[in-house]
Amino acid sequence: MLSFIKGCTISLQITVDEDITNWEIKAKFYDTASNSKILKSAEAGGSDAEIEKTTVGASSVFVVKMPAYETQDWEDKAWLEIKIDTGDDVGGEDEILPAFKEQIMFEDSDLDWETE
């Protein structure tokens, strides 16, 4: 299970052994209290500030970026789900791949910058 500090910037890097140049990628963070944030690659209507993609040869990397302070008031238990539209046509429909889904934890920071 992935664990993050509430309110901190989150950057998750995923490596794929394919050229993902034209892929549309969406990521959704959500918790049990109806808090949610959807991040999208530029091709899916978002920007590189949300999901940044880099392709070098046959290998690619994408980075999902949750901005600081977005999760400050979230519940401790949450989920992250990532789906990909490869642009391929399968049976007359877009190929949408469920790439990742996992429960994550948001924790309060134990470090007090001013006193420690």
- In order of their start, the domains of the chain are 2-107 (2.60.40.10)
pLDDT value at residue 47: 96
pLDDT, block means (10 residues), the chain with 116 residues = 92 93 96 96 96 92 95 96 94 92 91 74
pLDDT value at residue 114: 80
Euclidean distance between CA atoms 19 and 81, whole angstroms: 21
Residue with tokens 């995923």: 14
